[in-house]
Amino acid sequence: MHLKHRLRDAGLAGIAGFVAVICLSYLKHWTHFMVLSAPMGASLVLLLLLPSAPLSRPKNVILGHLLTTCVAVAGLELIPDPLLGLGFCFGLSLALMVVTDTLHPPAGANPILIYLSAAHLSPLDFILPTLAGTLFMVGFASAYHYVFTHRRYPFGPKSHQGEQAKAKPADATAPALGRPDK
């Protein structure tokens, strides 16, 4: 990629990251939900900079975060030993993301975050912010890529092939009936 394009893309992604984090900060301020966390920031990096990666699919982002959050919340309630609970929840979260095809590496940090901050929060204090944050990020990434990068996240780059197919009849390359090929 040419340096000029790389600088333009870097600038756009930096501004988009700034705007997204400001929006999440205001959402946190208005709702008092913990929607802004290190795992959410890491997800935003993938969504803005690697939108075509399988790990950036909306299914992976949303369900990966929700799955690991629910596992950690259940672990807090069911496993009295925090060290054993954290290890179990982390391992189970990884295994479940693989089995459900929702692997999203930033979501793997959710059990650690939840176990470190679980002293005074209820289960919904984790689940609802996770849902709100991931839905916001996927929507924000969709809008960002549509407007600035001309990608159709989560559907991939804009296809020029479809536009060409509309302009040219389907059988334009086939020989006309009754005429020999030349």
- Is the distance from CB of 40 to CB of 106 less than 8 angstroms? yes
- Tens of pLDDT along the chain (182 residues)? 789 999 999 999 999 999 999 999 988 888 877 778 899 999 999 999 999 999 999 999 999 999 999 999 999 999 989 999 999 999 999 999 999 999 999 999 999 999 988 767 788 888 999 999 999 999 999 999 999 988 878 876 655 544 444 444 444 444 444 445 44
Indicate whether 165 belongs to any domain: no
Indicate whether 180 belongs to any domain: no
Indicate whether 44 belongs to any domain: yes
Indicate whether 164 belongs to any domain: no
Number of domains within the chain: 1
Rounded to an integer, what distance in angstroms lies between the CA atom of residue 157 and that of residue 154?
9
Indicate whether 182 belongs to any domain: no
The pTM of the full predicted model, rounded to 2 decimals, is 0.81
Is the four-CA dihedral 160, 162, 163, 168 of positive or negative sign? Answer: positive
Indicate whether 145 belongs to any domain: yes
What residues make up the domain containing 72? 7-157
Indicate whether 134 belongs to any domain: yes
